[in-house]
């Protein structure tokens, strides 16, 4: 009965005191006149916060990096607040997020536990004894119900690898692993499993980093399919930074689905600069030295959206899409990179049949192994090595980025050895070209320019090779096989 009352009170609080009240960021101009050039980590100027409290405005979250607070108020209150000389801007806070899984109602099946690990030749890391030892990993998610009793996470909990937890949604809860509030509370448990899960049968690894140290943050109350709190995400990232956590996984994203459609993001807003959450992700990666691995999103087959969600659009996060296993083609649901960007998104992709929620954490574990092997790697070096190890390293596209990473090549590159996956550029002077491919089938990306894909397909290869015909509106065609990649540049006719 008490728990039901708490949930009822929370539901009232989360929507505000009236139906008209909404959540906003109130952004300050400085951190006090004497602190105009203050560092990111300097606390907010307390007189500014006190002034808002005197206005009877509840302070929900405070962000040092944004120099802002979130609060709930009437829309018409913003004009009055902007008269304060220390307030720079007031922005509506989009309060809805998407868990990056394609089967929201129940956890994904585990019949293909090791596919992603095998797809990227993860055994090469395991043979080197790489398992994330000593690396701090932050996880920002919706809930971790039963994580401490799940057999696949036995190694993490028996060896006390969870170093800290924080529930930003229900801070009064004494136990992050029990007392479920919504059907989505399992989501973070499955994400954690993808980072460091080990299955008893044959000691199979699903995740790369069972020996890493984990810091778990809960920032979403998944009472609705698209319910979330962007300000809690920001606060969690700052908390992880204060705990000296460098590597962070987030399988959450912000796109659309808001109660008020006027507050929806637009695909054009996915530019790495418009959303506050993407701005914070850029601060974390470029100014705080954190490494963020983020799910690309699951609207790839939604004709009204299709592109990645924030903060996967941020330039310096590693955004991860999802591929099928056999050929590495993009799962239809996996979000693609916006064509208006001047950089590649998603960055890479790997196998994940149930959503990009579960491709990103696989890569997070991979990064943890890289940091275990060479802790001195910079963010730029980590990203460059992962991209160069992937099969489309020379011809990335907005469907799967640089392609699927390869752990053997990553190890070689960290040791200044090895070679890249064979990529060949061919110029087709005629309307057709035949490639000397020996495999039975090949993955085809038809592109309108160097990186933007119009369509993908699996094509049968005849005995004499693969013959391609130039298609209307196509300037390049990428052909992917297990051994090499061909990039066909169609000459002007």
Last residue of a domain, one of 92, 123, 148: 92
Q: Give the containing element (helix H, strand E) for 8.
A: helix 2-15
The distance of Cα 230 from the centroid of its chain, to the nearest Å, equals: 14
pLDDT at 71 over 80: yes
| 104: confidence class by pLDDT, cuts 50, 70, 90 | very low
- What's the confidence (pLDDT) of residue 227? 37
| 353: confidence class by pLDDT, cuts 50, 70, 90 | confident
Q: Which of 124-138, 189-203, 330-344 has the lowest mean pLDDT?
A: 189-203
In a domain, 2, yes or no: no
- What's the confidence (pLDDT) of residue 182? 77
pLDDT at 341 over 60: yes
Same domain, 38 and 107: no
- What's the confidence (pLDDT) of residue 149? 95
In the chain, how many domains are there? 3
In a domain, 392, yes or no: yes
pLDDT at 113 over 70: no
Same domain, 232 and 296: yes
| 99: confidence class by pLDDT, cuts 50, 70, 90 | low
Same domain, 83 and 110: no
Last residue of a domain, one of 383, 414, 445: 414
Of the residues 319, 357, 359, 475, only one is catalytic, namely 357
Give 425 or 202, the one with higher predicted confidence. Answer: 425
In a domain, 241, yes or no: yes
pLDDT at 15 over 80: no
Last residue of a domain, one of 358, 390, 414: 414
Q: What mean pLDDT is predicted for residues 252-279?
A: 82
Q: Which of 6-15, 86-95, 224-233, 461-470 has the lowest mean pLDDT?
A: 6-15
pLDDT at 288 over 90: yes
Closest CA to 295 of 96, 140, 456, 132: 140
Of the residues 96, 161, 187, 221, only one is catalytic, namely 187
Q: Which of 2-16, 103-117, 276-290 has the lowest mean pLDDT?
A: 2-16
Question: Which string of DSSP letters, residue by residue, matches 380-427?
Answer: HHHHHHHHHHSTTSSS-BTTTBT----HHHHHHHHTT---PPPEEEEE
| 122: confidence class by pLDDT, cuts 50, 70, 90 | very high
Give 346 or 203, the one with higher predicted confidence. Answer: 346
Of the residues 141, 167, 241, 313, only one is catalytic, namely 141
Same domain, 447 and 408: no
Same domain, 136 and 172: yes
In a domain, 207, yes or no: yes
Q: What mean pLDDT is predicted for residues 366-390?
A: 98
Q: Which of 88-97, 150-159, 274-283 has the lowest mean pLDDT?
A: 88-97
Same domain, 215 and 289: yes
Same domain, 328 and 443: no
Highest mean pLDDT among 25-29, 71-75, 263-267, 367-371 belongs to: 367-371
Q: What mean pLDDT is predicted for residues 59-74?
A: 92
Same domain, 331 and 268: yes
In a domain, 3, yes or no: no
- What's the confidence (pLDDT) of residue 224? 46
Known catalytic residue at 70: no
The distance of Cα 454 from the centroid of its chain, to the nearest Å, equals: 24
Which H, E and C letters describe 333-379, residue by residue?
CCCECCCCCCCCCCCEEEECCCCHHHCHHHHHHHHHHHHHHCCCCCH
170-207 pLDDT tens trace: 888 878 898 777 778 899 999 999 999 998 765 788 89
In a domain, 5, yes or no: no
pTM of the model: 0.90
- What's the confidence (pLDDT) of residue 93? 78
Q: Which of 35-44, 86-95, 252-261, 429-438 has the lowest mean pLDDT?
A: 252-261
- What's the confidence (pLDDT) of residue 305? 92
* CA distances, 41 to each of 45, 64, 68, 412 (Å): 12, 6, 13, 38
| 98: confidence class by pLDDT, cuts 50, 70, 90 | low
Q: What angle do CA 297, 300, 305 make, to 5 degrees?
A: 90
Same domain, 75 and 195: no
Give 238 or 354, the one with higher predicted confidence. Answer: 238
Same domain, 125 and 231: yes
pLDDT at 455 over 80: yes
What CATH number does the domain containing 46 carry? 3.30.70.80
Q: Which residues are CB-neighbours of 352 under 8 A, at least 6 positions away?
A: 116, 322, 323, 331, 358, 359, 362
What CATH number does the domain containing 187 carry? 3.40.50.200
Closest CA to 225 of 100, 335, 120: 100
Burial of 417 from C-beta contacts in 10 A (0-12 / 13-18 / 19+): exposed
Known catalytic residue at 187: yes
Average pLDDT, the chain: 88
- What's the confidence (pLDDT) of residue 100? 67
Q: What mean pLDDT is predicted for residues 267-282?
A: 93
Residue range of the domain that includes 122: 98-414
Known catalytic residue at 106: no
Same domain, 105 and 63: no
pLDDT at 14 over 60: no
Same domain, 379 and 435: no
pLDDT at 259 over 80: no
Q: What mean pLDDT is predicted for residues 470-489?
A: 96
- What's the confidence (pLDDT) of residue 17? 40
141-158 pLDDT tens trace: 999 999 999 999 999 999
pLDDT at 452 over 80: yes
Q: Strand, coil or helix: what is 468?
A: strand
The count of residues in the chain is 493
Q: What mean pLDDT is predicted for residues 445-469?
A: 95
Give 463 or 477, the one with higher predicted confidence. Answer: 477
In a domain, 4, yes or no: no
| 23: confidence class by pLDDT, cuts 50, 70, 90 | confident
In a domain, 1, yes or no: no
317-329 pLDDT tens trace: 999 999 999 889 9
pLDDT at 381 over 70: yes
Closest CA to 23 of 87, 84, 96: 96
């Amino acid at each position: 009965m008490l728990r039901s009352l708490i949930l009822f009170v929370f539901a009232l609080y989360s929507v505000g005191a009236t139906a008209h009240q909404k959540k906003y960021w109130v952004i300050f101009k400085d951190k006090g006149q004497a602190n105009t050039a203050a560092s990111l980590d300097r606390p907010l100027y307390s007189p500014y916060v006190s002034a808002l409290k005197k206005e009877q405005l509840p302070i929900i979250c405070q962000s040092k990096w944004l120099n802002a607070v979130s609060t709930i108020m009437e829309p018409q209150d913003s004009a009055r607040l902007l008269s304060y000389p220390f307030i720079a801007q007031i922005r509506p806070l989009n309060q809805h997020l998407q868990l990056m899984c394609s089967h929201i109602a129940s956890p994904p099946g585990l019949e293909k536990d090791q596919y992603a690990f095998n797809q990227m030749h993860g055994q090469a890391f395991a043979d080197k004894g790489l398992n994330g030892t000593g690396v701090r990993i932050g996880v920002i998610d919706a809930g971790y119900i039963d994580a401490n009793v799940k057999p696949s996470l036995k190694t993490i909990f028996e060896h006390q690898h969870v170093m800290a937890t924080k529930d930003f949604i229900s801070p009064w809860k004494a136990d992050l692993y029990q007392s479920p509030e919504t059907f989505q509370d399992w989501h973070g448990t499955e994400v954690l499993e993808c980072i460091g899960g080990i299955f008893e049968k044959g000691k199979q690894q699903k995740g790369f980093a069972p020996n890493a140290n984990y810091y778990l943050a809960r920032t979403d109350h998944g009472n609705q399919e698209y319910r979330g709190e962007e300000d809690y995400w920001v606060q969690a990232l700052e908390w992880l930074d204060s705990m000296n956590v460098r590597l962070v996984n987030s399988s959450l994203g912000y796109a659309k689905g808001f109660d008020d459609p006027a507050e929806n993001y637009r695909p054009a807003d996915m530019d790495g600069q418009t959303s506050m959450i993407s701005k914070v992700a850029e601060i974390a990666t470029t100014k705080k030295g954190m490494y963020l691995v983020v799910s690309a999103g699951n609207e790839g087959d939604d004709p009204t959206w299709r592109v990645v969600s924030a903060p996967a659009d941020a330039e310096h996060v590693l955004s991860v899409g999802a591929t099928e296993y056999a050929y590495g083609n993009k799962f239809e649901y996996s979000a693609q990179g916006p064509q208006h960007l001047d950089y590649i998104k998603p960055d890479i992709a790997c196998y994940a049949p149930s959503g990009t929620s579960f491709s990103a954490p696989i890569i997070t574990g991979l990064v943890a192994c890289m940091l275990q092997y060479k802790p001195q790697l910079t963010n730029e070096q980590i990203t460059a090595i992962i991209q160069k190890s992937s099969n489309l390293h020379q011809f990335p596209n907005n469907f799967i980025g640089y392609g699927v990473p390869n752990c053997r090549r990553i190890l070689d590159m960290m040791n200044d050895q090895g070679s890249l996956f064979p990529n060949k550029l061919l110029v087709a002077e005629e309307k057709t070209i035949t490639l000397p491919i020996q495999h039975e089938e090949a993955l085809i990306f038809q592109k309108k320019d160097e990186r933007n894909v119009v369509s993908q397909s699996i094509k049968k290869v005849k005995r004499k090779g693969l013959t391609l015909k130039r298609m209307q509106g196509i300037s390049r065609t990428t052909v992917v096989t297990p051994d090499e990649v061909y990039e066909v540049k169609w000459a002007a006719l």
